[in-house]
Amino acid sequence: MSDPQSKVQFQDISRNDLDRANASDYVHQFPKGLNKKIVQRISENKKEPSWMLDIRFRALETFEKLPLPTWGPDLSKLDFKNIRYFSTASENPHAKSWDEVSPEIKRTFERLRIPEAEKAVLAGVGAQYESENVYHNLKKEWDDQGVIFEDFDVAVQKYSDLVRKYFSKCVPILDHKFAALHYAVTSGGTFLYVPKGIKITQPLQAYFRMNSMNQGQFEHTLIIVEDEADAHYIEGCSAPKYGSQSLHAGCVEVFVGKGAKMRYSSVENWSKDTYNLNTKRAIVGDHGRMEWIGGNLGSGVTMLYPCSILVGNYAQADHLGVAFANAGQNQDTGAKVIIHGKNCRSKIVAKSLSKGGGTSTYRGMVSVSKNAQNAIVNVECDALMLDDHSLSDTIPHIKCENSTASITHEASAGKISEEVLLYFQSRGIDEEVAKGMIVNGFLDEIVKTLPLEYAAELNRLIELEMEGSIG
Amino acid sequence: MLIIENLTAQYQQKPILKGINLRVGEGEIHAILGPNGSGKSTLGRVLLGDGNYQKTAGKILLNDMNFDEANPTERSKAGFFLSFQSPPELDGVSAKNLLLAAKKSMDSTFSSSFRLRKELTENLKKLHLGEEFLTREVHKGASGGERRKLEMVSLLTLNPKVAFLDEIDSGIDVDAMKAIAEVIHEFMSRGKKSIIVVSHTEKLLQLIRPTHFHVLCGGIIVQSGGKEILEAVHQCGFCHFADTKNCPLHHE
């Protein structure tokens, strides 16, 4: 457990800590735009095995062939030619100690409270800056038990067979245009391997930071939780604001073994000029359990629908999501649950907030296949609009081929109740503080599943979004 | 001292209060009786400043503070407290967090959540509520009686100057009634306090022992006096007062 003396002070974090860029010298900064040569150079730079380069080339071809999605937010202004697909700022990537990280970059992560959190509450930390990890470390206790927590680029070299066995087997290259783009230019990310029966009691964290203008980040996270093992992995992300587009197309693949349990939490807080087009998916075996907990606060456009494929019997998937769309933001988020096993269960709780003319959409899919006997799925989506000109939408899609399934869908959408606001005021609480408390209360069910420090961080980020909310 | 002068107010363009005059001094408990729809709850809402009710004329002063210039938060900070007849459920907000925010808002130097917790636990005990009410979501799934008791916990904890208690007795048992009456006496004993209580229950009023009684009928106070009014209402209902020429209903 955490030592109260070393509490991480996320509640002091300011918008400036997140949105401000820092000066840094680049070791490699490839020209903007995408072609076969760029892809080849990325691979050469990493001295990758040839099977990786083959995947990249196939992915690039696929990317060029596939159209943009015909549904969801408008992506027509995203200019692929104006994105830089690879940059590294560190002479010494993959450091094992913060002392080896260049002072400028280290300061960036200190502002984001990462080393502090590592000391206090985490089993391991990875820190990615632009295209590569600058730091990666796992506490010895877990290393000794065979846990692998590595920078993805290092893992490709060091655990080539293991990575190759799972890589792109959960999210295929052909999945959609941005998955293909991701595989063509992927760089950095996390590899987590938890051996059979090992239960990691502290969370592991990776933090992804984009720093320069028009940057693209395409990290790959591959998580393998063997039978009866247990882990909690947290991702945080941010980028400074430039008023010019940047692109994040990450990919997360999770394999949950028999009776294993995996919790994946993320707080995505990219700057408001980022396109966050992310793919996250898990395959869950017999009696396995996958939990997705996500907070989406940043980005101009987000498209993110974590997916669980329950292939085993008695498998379980919980999806808890929070999306906050402020002025100029379009948060298109949701969940996908695909059930093939028997006696599986899933719960989806999605909470969305919109304010200042922002748009929040819940887009979800539940699919129960023919042989999936006795599936139980409960979907609950609640939307809270904080003013009259913000939008909220719910687009659920249910496909059920087995008559023994029980699927419920509950949705609510509304504004802050005047009576509730008046009640807070009748206790001497100012309108703005009251609205903040109402919003925190609305999200409480999800926030309380996060470790204390991250719950405080999420509350703080929401507080920042709520500033000036009196209409 | 709360002074209400010639107060008129409407709800959805329908006049409800038609000229209320009331002076509530320190150390006084005023009971307001009256038939359903006579404007008792509206009076509480107008005093708080609920935007759904429009004050059309008159004056409300709390210790020389003019309520016309204050929003509901400011009125509460100035020492006015309304206990809601049906308080709303607060999703994800505990009584402890609500009252901590309230305390901090009213007193910027207040910071001890430990002290508050101790005080809250004691106040809950006085109303026979368990400690779990500290952390439970406020009024969520609570019975009518529990909600009213929790309103009384807020009263004790926030320590206002003037409290308007709107039907705190509906749906509660005799033991709860006794506990509420004791809490009211404890509150009054702190000194310089005033209470306006709206109630239909003779038993509660006997326990509280108001110093003044008023009958509100058709939006005005048709009669004021001592506890003889309670006896009269108990014997012949409100018709007797409605029949007096003061009552606007008399002519309808």
Averaged pLDDT for residues A215-234: 95
Is B124 contained in some domain? no
**Per-residue model confidence as pLDDT tens digits over B90-106:** 999 999 999 999 999 99
Is A183 contained in some domain? yes
Helices (H) then strands (E): counts for chain A: 12, 25
What is the DSSP annotation of B195-224? EEEE---HHHHHHH--SEEEEEETTEEEEE
> Which of the four pLDDT bands, split at 50, 70 and 90, describes residue A471?
very low
pLDDT exceeds cutoff 50 at B187: yes
Say which CATH number the domain at B171 has.
3.40.50.300
What span, in angstroms and rounded, lies between the C-alpha atoms of B197 and B148? 13
Higher pLDDT among residues A217 and A8, named by residue: A217
A227 and A257 in contact (C-beta within 8 Å)?
A: yes
Q: Is A51 helix (H, G, I), strand (E, B) or coil?
A: helix
Is A362 contained in some domain? no
A133 and A109 in contact (C-beta within 8 Å)?
A: no
Q: Find, in chain A, the residue whose alpha carbon is nearest to that of B78.
A: A428
Is A143 contained in some domain? yes
Closest Cα to residue A282, out of A260, A307, A261, A262? A307
pLDDT exceeds cutoff 70 at A174: yes
What span, in angstroms and rounded, lies between the C-alpha atoms of B93 and B80? 23
* Cα within 13 Å of Cα(B199), Cβ side: 29
CA distance B82 to chain A (A): 7
Q: Is A305 helix (H, G, I), strand (E, B) or coil?
A: coil
pLDDT exceeds cutoff 70 at A10: no
What is the DSSP annotation of B35-92? -TTSSHHHHHHHHHT-TTEEEEEEEEEETTEEGGG--HHHHHHTTEEEE-SSPPP-TT
pLDDT reported for residue A241: 72
Which chain B residues contact residue A428 at CB under 8 A? 73, 76-77, 102, 105-106, 158
Which of A304, A326, A346 represents a domain boundary (last residue)? Answer: A304
Closest Cα to residue A190, out of A149, A237, A160? A149
Averaged pLDDT for residues B144-158: 95
* Cα within 13 Å of Cα(B38), Cβ side: 25
What span, in angstroms and rounded, lies between the C-alpha atoms of A91 and A79? 30
Chain mean pLDDT for chain B: 92
pLDDT reported for residue B110: 85
Chain mean pLDDT for chain A: 89
Averaged pLDDT for residues A323-343: 96
* Backbone dihedral region for residue A61 (phi beyond 0: left; psi -120 to 50: alpha; all else: beta): alpha
Give the residue numbers spanning the domain of B60: 2-87+161-251
Of B87, B88, B105, the CB nearest to A417: B88
Q: Is B28 helix (H, G, I), strand (E, B) or coil?
A: coil
Is A318 contained in some domain? no
What span, in angstroms and rounded, lies between the C-alpha atoms of A287 and A310? 10
> Which of the four pLDDT bands, split at 50, 70 and 90, describes residue B245?
low
Tally of residues, chain B = 252
CA distance A420 to chain B (A): 6
- What domain count does chain B have? 1
Higher pLDDT among residues A175 and A20, named by residue: A175
Query: What tokens were used for B81?
Result: 């407290």
Ranking A79-93, A308-322, A342-356, B10-24 by mean pLDDT, the lowest is A79-93
First vs last Cα of chain A: how many Å apart? 42
Is B154 contained in some domain? no
- Going through A130-229 in order, the beta strands assigned E by DSSP cover 132-138, 148-151, 189-194, 204-209, 216-217, 220-225
pLDDT reported for residue B124: 97
Which chain A residues contact residue B50 at CB under 8 A? 422
Is B134 contained in some domain? no
What span, in angstroms and rounded, lies between the C-alpha atoms of A302 and A391? 15
Of A419, A427, A441, the CB nearest to B91: A441
> Which of the four pLDDT bands, split at 50, 70 and 90, describes residue B244?
low
What span, in angstroms and rounded, lies between the C-alpha atoms of A251 and A205? 16
CA distance A289 to chain B (A): 26
Averaged pLDDT for residues A301-318: 98
pLDDT reported for residue A117: 81
Of B71, B92, B158, the CB nearest to A444: B92
What span, in angstroms and rounded, lies between the C-alpha atoms of A34 and A86? 10
Q: How many CB atoms lie under 10 A from the CB of residue B96?
A: 18
Q: Is A93 helix (H, G, I), strand (E, B) or coil?
A: coil
pLDDT exceeds cutoff 90 at A21: no
- One-letter identity of residue A249: A
Q: Is A398 helix (H, G, I), strand (E, B) or coil?
A: strand
pLDDT exceeds cutoff 80 at B247: no
Closest Cα to residue A302, out of A322, A325, A332? A332
In the 8-state DSSP scheme, what is residue A72?
S
> Where is A181: in which H helix or E strand?
helix A177-185
Closest Cα to residue A443, out of B93, B102, B100? B93
pLDDT reported for residue B251: 47
Q: Which of A25-34, A235-244, A302-311 has the highest mean pLDDT?
A: A302-311
Which chain A residues contact residue B72 at CB under 8 A? 422, 425-426
Nearest-Å Rg of the Cα atoms of chain A is: 21
**Per-residue model confidence as pLDDT tens digits over A140-172:** 999 999 999 999 999 999 999 999 999 999 999
**Per-residue model confidence as pLDDT tens digits over A406-432:** 999 999 999 999 999 999 999 999 999
Is B82 contained in some domain? yes
Which of A304, A323, A351 represents a domain boundary (last residue)? Answer: A304
Angle, CA A416 vertex, CA A414 and CA A422 arms, to 5°: 150
Q: How many CB atoms lie under 10 A from the CB of residue A174?
A: 14
pLDDT reported for residue A157: 94
pLDDT reported for residue A3: 40
Of B77, B90, B137, the CB nearest to A428: B77
Closest Cα to residue A191, out of A120, A229, A136? A136
pLDDT exceeds cutoff 70 at A12: no
Which chain A residues contact residue B95 at CB under 8 A? none
pLDDT reported for residue A213: 78
Helices (H) then strands (E): counts for chain B: 9, 10
List, as own/partner pairs, every contact residues A41-48 make where C-beta atoms lie below 8 angstroms and the sequence separation is at least 24, other chains included: A41/A86, A42/A85, A42/A86, A42/A185, A42/A187, A45/A86, A45/A88, A46/A153, A46/A156, A46/A187, A47/A157, A48/A156, A48/A157
CA distance B44 to chain A (A): 11
> Which of the four pLDDT bands, split at 50, 70 and 90, describes residue A1?
very low
Whether B105 has its CB under 8 Å from any CB of chain A: the answer is: yes
Q: Which of residues 52-71 of B touch A (CB under 8 A)?
A: 52, 71
Which of A304, A338, A365 represents a domain boundary (last residue)? Answer: A304
Pairing state of beta strands A406-415 and B80-83? Answer: unpaired
Q: Is A135 helix (H, G, I), strand (E, B) or coil?
A: strand
Give the residue numbers spanning the domain of A457: 417-471
Is B200 contained in some domain? yes
Q: Are residues A288 and A425 in the same domain?
A: no
What span, in angstroms and rounded, lies between the C-alpha atoms of A320 and A455? 14
What span, in angstroms and rounded, lies between the C-alpha atoms of B27 and A383? 47
pLDDT exceeds cutoff 60 at B56: yes
> Which of the four pLDDT bands, split at 50, 70 and 90, describes residue B252?
very low
pLDDT exceeds cutoff 90 at A133: no
> Which of the four pLDDT bands, split at 50, 70 and 90, describes residue A17?
confident
B181 and B155 in contact (C-beta within 8 Å)?
A: no
Is B114 contained in some domain? no
Which chain B residues contact residue A444 at CB under 8 A? 91-93
- Going through A157-240 in order, the beta strands assigned E by DSSP cover 189-194, 204-209, 216-217, 220-225, 230-238
Averaged pLDDT for residues A434-452: 88
**Per-residue model confidence as pLDDT tens digits over A38-95:** 999 999 999 999 999 999 999 999 999 999 999 999 999 999 999 999 988 766 677 8
Averaged pLDDT for residues A103-131: 82
- What domain count does chain A have? 2
pLDDT reported for residue A6: 43
B82 and B73 in contact (C-beta within 8 Å)?
A: no
Record the pTM: 0.84
CA distance A97 to chain B (A): 39
